[in-house]
Chains A and B, each alone.
Chain A
Amino acid sequence: MAALLEVEGLVKHFPVNEGVFLSRLGKTVKAVDGVSFTVDEGETLGLVGESGCGKSTTGRCINRLLEATAGRIRFAGADVRRLRRQDLKAYRRDVQFIFQDPYASLNPRMTFGEIMAEPLVIHGVGTRRERQDRCKEMLETVGLNPEHIHRYPHEFSGGQRQRVGIARALMLRPKMIICDEPVSALDVSIQAQIINLLEELQQEFGLTYLFIAHDLAVIRHICDRVAVMYLGKIVELGGWREVYNSPNHPYTQSLLSAVPVPDPEKQRRRARIILKGDVPNPIDPPSGCRFHTRCPLAQFPLCSEQEPALRQVAPGHQAACHFAKPFPIPEHKMGREALFDGDSE
């Protein structure tokens, strides 16, 4: 299948001191530091990682909510970073966004109908009447009462609002939707419904998803391929089966070993990898392999001096580790405490 979206060497640095007088200190937060991947038409690529690893920034750079510092983004052949005005507007019609927080992403002073009609108004689609009909249709499609178009967001729960957020993203029949943690703000019982809805909509409308999440269980459910990010870089990339069954990067292994298994017997016998310490400061990331400060396999000085490239470990499966090859998770028995900190977005 043809790649719909190609991202190559994407870099986004945020200047730290943006005062009038201190702007020349030159310190930057390296939120995304050379990320490359492709998303094929009709597939779902999952982007996973801890809070602050740059996954949301990547998503926002792709639809130009943020301007990338460097790198290339191609969508259906067009160079996204060079798009101007009308072309950018057309591009944004094709690439829609679903936000994490269903409370903050809907304007509290607009009715559901106004919220959903807005993309149509902006792109000059249809008459007032037609737009209203389409809003009603779409509300039905996402499982809400079409009569709710005159209601305001504050009258509804998180799950219902998120359905409206999804409906809004669908109004223009986009080719691709960037889902920025669309379920992590919802109750677990609602998460499954929204995920199912997204899957069904993908089939119905032939959508391509870039699915950003920190929850591996969610990613596993919906994604065809998975990219694992750590401190602004992709450390492992491959089909979900390969990544989940034979993770090559020690970071991926530790993430997977933290996912609880519903069988208590199995859960007790499982090997756990517990990472030491916190995620390093992205203003001043570790030299060499960025993971070496927390890696259970790190060999010095190799890992602290040489940065491992993302290389193929199996067909369609890449990992960025000097020791990347399929190997079993080390057999030390560990307690049940959380495996990595900071995952509380």
Chain B
Amino acid sequence: MVSDITGFDDKRREVPVEVGAADELAVSEDLEYVETGPARSLRADALRRLRKNKLAVAGLIWIIIVILIAITADLWAPRWLGDPVEIDSTTAAERMLLSPSWDHPFGTDKLGRDVASRVVYGARVSLMVGVLAVAIAVTLGLILGALAAYYGGIWDAIIMRTADVFFAFPYILFAIVLIALLGPGLQNVFIAIGVLGWPSIARVFRSSILSVKENEYVDAARAMGASTRRILIRHIMPNAVAPIIVYATMSVGGAILTEAALSFLGMGVQPPDPSWGNMLDDARSFMLTAPWLMIYPGIAILTTVLAFVLLGDGLRDALDVKLKE
């Protein structure tokens, strides 16, 4: 009878100690089954692992703060700090290049505008470019990477060699050329960054699919008669997208940096609209006399990019289901 072979088939596993789980740990000798603590969903598990990573949590909190600041800017920034764009010509002369004070926490620029207000509005530009550019890159990259990996052969060759060509160009130069063709402006900045970003996403996704495809559970699904669509949706995609989530998160940081560089070079967001990049450009001539012009947008870029990279790093560990406790 089958019931003869039930019971202890393996060593009893150590149960991850967690608050609340302690009661269920009491496994008596004559208990038939091995207990491993309460069932948890993969998402809850991942979140718990992410929470343990202090740096990633710090990154996430900072990103949330920046997002909140960017979204609510209209409600308070112009009133408290001053308009980020408009120049009040009657008072501009006495308000220019003021060092940080209670009224202007980050000082003012050469036209008498409040730097803090401009940094706040610059956050909008940076986040928008970062998120939209990566959205474009991920969409293109996922489609092309999946085509290359799944169909292989000639598709793979064409797509991946095209990606190699993209890699062979200096990235910033390529972006500048594209923007020169499209014309400067926020919209064209994220289109350019997005279009240039697909090859690395495609490459990561392709290799991820290829390695997932080799797993026996894919064979198992085929052996039981699953359709190609089902295999792709249920087995390959869920296991292949984790690296993309990680990579995309880090790419947002990269896109913000690229936008800053392009705006610094005058190819991105055009004055008088503020962006962290063109604020740095403005600050160049006052680097020594008014260092706050450079320091605050610089800190904004640094912390935000760092936050995305740290979060990405934390996600990498959190999303790995194979990680043993």
Chain A residues engaging chain B, CB cutoff 8 angstroms: 20, 63, 65, 88-89, 92-93, 96-97, 99-101, 104-110, 118-119, 122-123, 140-145, 147-148, 150-152, 154-160, 163, 165, 168, 172, 190, 193, 196-197, 200-201, 204
B85-99 contacts to A, CB under 8 A, are none
B164-223 contacts to A, CB under 8 A, are 215-217, 219-223
Cα distance A196–B1 when bound, in Å?
10
B9 within 8 A of A: yes
Q: Are A105 and B5 in contact (CB under 8 A)?
A: no
Task: Choose one: A88, A101, A109; the contact of B225 (CB below 8 Å).
Answer: A88
Task: List the B side residues contacting A101 at CB < 8 Å.
Answer: 216
B157 (CB) vs chain A CBs: closest residue = A20
Cα distance A109–B215 when bound, in Å?
13
B13 within 8 A of A: yes
Task: Choose one: B7, B223, B234; the contact of A92 (CB below 8 Å).
Answer: B223
8 contacting pairs across A/B (C-beta < 8 A): A97-B219, A105-B219, A107-B234, A123-B224, A145-B34, A151-B39, A160-B9, A200-B4
Task: List the A side residues contacting B13 at CB < 8 Å.
Answer: 155-157
Q: Are A65 and B222 in contact (CB under 8 A)?
A: yes
> Nearest-CB distance from A58 to chain B (Å)?
15
Q: Are B11 and A157 in contact (CB under 8 A)?
A: yes
Residue among A65, A89, A155, A193 facing the most chain B CB atoms (10 A cut-off): A155
Cα distance A89–B222 when bound, in Å?
10
Task: Choose one: A20, A109, A172, A200; the contact of B5 (CB below 8 Å).
Answer: A200
Cα distance A160–B36 when bound, in Å?
12
Residue among A88, A89, A108 facing the most chain B CB atoms (10 A cut-off): A108
Cα distance A44–B325 when bound, in Å?
39
Q: Are B216 and A99 in contact (CB under 8 A)?
A: yes
Q: Are B224 and A119 in contact (CB under 8 A)?
A: yes
B239 within 8 A of A: yes
Q: A97-B220, A109-B42, A109-B238 are in contact. Are A145 and B32 (CB under 8 A)?
A: yes
A161 (CB) vs chain B CBs: closest residue = B10
Cα distance A145–B227 when bound, in Å?
31
Task: List the B side residues contacting A92 at CB < 8 Å.
Answer: 223-225
Cα distance A209–B118 when bound, in Å?
74
B322 within 8 A of A: yes
Cα distance A13–B324 when bound, in Å?
39
Q: A118-B234, A156-B13, A172-B224 are in contact. List 18 more A-B contacts (CB 8 A).
A: A88-B225, A92-B225, A96-B224, A97-B224, A99-B216, A99-B220, A108-B239, A108-B322, A109-B42, A109-B321, A142-B2, A143-B6, A145-B34, A154-B324, A156-B36, A159-B9, A163-B9, A197-B2
Q: Are B219 and A99 in contact (CB under 8 A)?
A: yes
Cα distance A93–B224 when bound, in Å?
6
Q: Are B10 and A154 in contact (CB under 8 A)?
A: no
Task: List the B side residues contacting A196 at CB < 8 Å.
Answer: 5
Cα distance A144–B324 when bound, in Å?
21
Q: What count of chain B residues pass the 8 Å CB interface test?
A: 41
B230 within 8 A of A: yes
Cα distance A107–B226 when bound, in Å?
14
B281-325 contacts to A, CB under 8 A, are 321-324
Q: Are B2 and A201 in contact (CB under 8 A)?
A: yes
Task: List the B side residues contacting A123 at CB < 8 Å.
Answer: 224-225
Q: Are B321 and A122 in contact (CB under 8 A)?
A: no
Q: Are A107 and B235 in contact (CB under 8 A)?
A: yes
B154 within 8 A of A: yes
Cα distance A145–B6 when bound, in Å?
9
Residue among A105, A159, A163 facing the most chain B CB atoms (10 A cut-off): A105
> Nearest-CB distance from B40 to chain A (Å)?
8
Task: List the A side residues contacting B76 at CB < 8 Å.
Answer: none
Task: Choose one: A89, A109, A141; the contact of B2 (CB below 8 Å).
Answer: A141
> Nearest-CB distance from A333 to chain B (Å)?
41
Cα distance A251–B281 when bound, in Å?
79
Q: A154-B324, A172-B224, A196-B5 are in contact. Are A104 and B157 (CB under 8 A)?
A: no
Task: List the B side residues contacting A108 at CB < 8 Å.
Answer: 239, 321-322
B20 within 8 A of A: no
Q: Are A122 and B216 in contact (CB under 8 A)?
A: no
Q: Are A143 and B9 in contact (CB under 8 A)?
A: yes
> Nearest-CB distance from B122 to chain A (Å)?
39
A174 (CB) vs chain B CBs: closest residue = B224
Q: Are B9 and A168 in contact (CB under 8 A)?
A: no
> Nearest-CB distance from B164 to chain A (Å)?
15
Cα distance A110–B33 when bound, in Å?
21
Cα distance A267–B259 when bound, in Å?
76
Task: Choose one: B11, B223, B239; the contact of A65 (CB below 8 Å).
Answer: B223
A100 (CB) vs chain B CBs: closest residue = B216
Cα distance A17–B92 when bound, in Å?
74
Q: A108-B239, A163-B9, A190-B10 are in contact. Are A155 and B36 (CB under 8 A)?
A: yes
Q: Are B224 and A118 in contact (CB under 8 A)?
A: yes
Cα distance A160–B34 when bound, in Å?
10
Task: Choose one: B225, B234, B235, B322; the contact of A89 (CB below 8 Å).
Answer: B225
Cα distance A144–B9 when bound, in Å?
9
Task: List the B side residues contacting A160 at CB < 8 Å.
Answer: 9-10, 34
Residue among B220, B222, B238, B239 facing the most chain A CB atoms (10 A cut-off): B220
Q: Are B216 and A193 in contact (CB under 8 A)?
A: no
Task: List the B side residues contacting A147 at CB < 8 Å.
Answer: 33
B323 (CB) vs chain A CBs: closest residue = A154
